[in-house]
Amino acid sequence: MDRLTNTVRPYAWGSTTAIPELLGTAPTGEPQAEMWMGAHPGAPSRTDRGAGPVSLADVIAADPEGELGPDAVRAFGPRLPFLLKLLAAGSPLSLQVHPDLTQAQEGYADEEKRGVPADAPHRNYKDANHKPELICALTPFEGLCGFRHPAEAATLLEGLGVSALKPYADILRAAPEDAALREVLTAVLGADRDETAETVEQAATAARRLAGEGGPHADAYAAYAAIAHHYPGDPGVLAAMLLNHVRLQPGEALFLGAGIPHAYLGGLGVELMANSDNVLRCGLTPKHVDVPELLRVVRFEPRDAAVLRPEEATAAGEEVYETPTDEFRLSRFVLAPGGPSRTLGDRGPQILLCTAGAVAVHVVGAGAGGGSVSRTDAGSRTGVGSRTEAGSRTEADSRTGAGSRTDLTLAPGESVFVPAGERVELAGEGTIFRATVAL
């Protein structure tokens, strides 16, 4: 197995304190939004197998079947199909949706055929893959997920008492649900920006007042007022009012499938997604919003936000967050003091992330079976420019042979890559999140 050194991305919406607190490091004063664990080309994790630091992407490219296993390579090709993150939202992220696989393949092929530069700000499809994702709260976490039922959204808009919103509420009450949601979102995103800015300000003022008065929608009104504070005049504020407002407690999760509009508003969580960059934005952003393509991809299906809670699926105490996605599978191990060790299967690649306590990870049968265990770790917590790297070597790590690494102890925020064919055992007191493929 390989200890990972990971990059922390300094996006403007990131919390300045949440990730440093988890890692036990001093805040820099700059936002630290996401810590990436995986082989994404934008910021691959690094490891050291004795010849100096190397990216995990290069390690996998040198021996895809050895690192990922033949089943994963057959299913997803010669690359790690998922990306694991720590996500720390200090302010709202953009309101967005992701395409399904067919839409991504068609959209990518079309933009390639038309010669749209890969780095063009108006490009929608960076690759030909879909991007389902799962967010699991480590702290209280707030977000928007999926369309409200139109009648409920109409009640919310009517409660604001803003005359410019009355036509939207009337549509939401009169038309079939999917048609009503489509018509209102199209109207909001297509309206004159200056006129919309005035409506947004009136709605935000009313939302702040109603949040302070209490009532059944007080939390939602408070969230919309906060969004408007960060994005004054943005039509995405009105689009957000069509969506379910969700509060997650630690250990609870949301699955975001294709076409489901969503936004993360605040909190720290573990995020797992298919390895893609395809995002279509609906608002709450200065970036490009392609309204026609967005309307093609969005699923106008009202639904209650389905909060996921882990189910214990194995005798080893593995708590699984079930999703319909093959590219990834997220689970959690909560190790109690004096409790039994936990042994993990070895069919596919794994990334293990510690979020609490101190957990010892041991390679079972080191030197036998699939997957080399002659892997060293090198890592330090250092800042490099605007990119912070996270990962460290602990004194409890033991060496077997020249430079081999078969026993590691993980502290909060530390992670390891376990290649296919290596079985590992967990012991100690703490919490481990396990990202692997659903094979």
Establish whether 299 is a catalytic residue: no
CA distance 108 to 406: 42
CA distance 254 to 306: 7
Cβ–Cβ < 8 Å for 97, 262: yes
Q: Report phi then psi at 279, rounded to 5.
A: -135, 130
And the tokens for 419?
């290649």
Catalytic residue among 46, 79, 148, 281: 281
DSSP for 174-191, please give it. HS-HHHHHHHHHHHHHHS
Cβ–Cβ < 8 Å for 319, 333: yes
- Close Cβ partners of 252 (under 8 Å, ≥ 6 residues apart): 136, 137, 141, 307, 308, 309
Q: To 10 degrees, what angle do helices 177-190 and 150-160 make?
A: 40
CA distance 261 to 294: 10
Total residue length of the chain: 439
Taking residue 262's Cβ as centre, other Cβ atoms within 10 Å add up to 24
Active site residues: 281
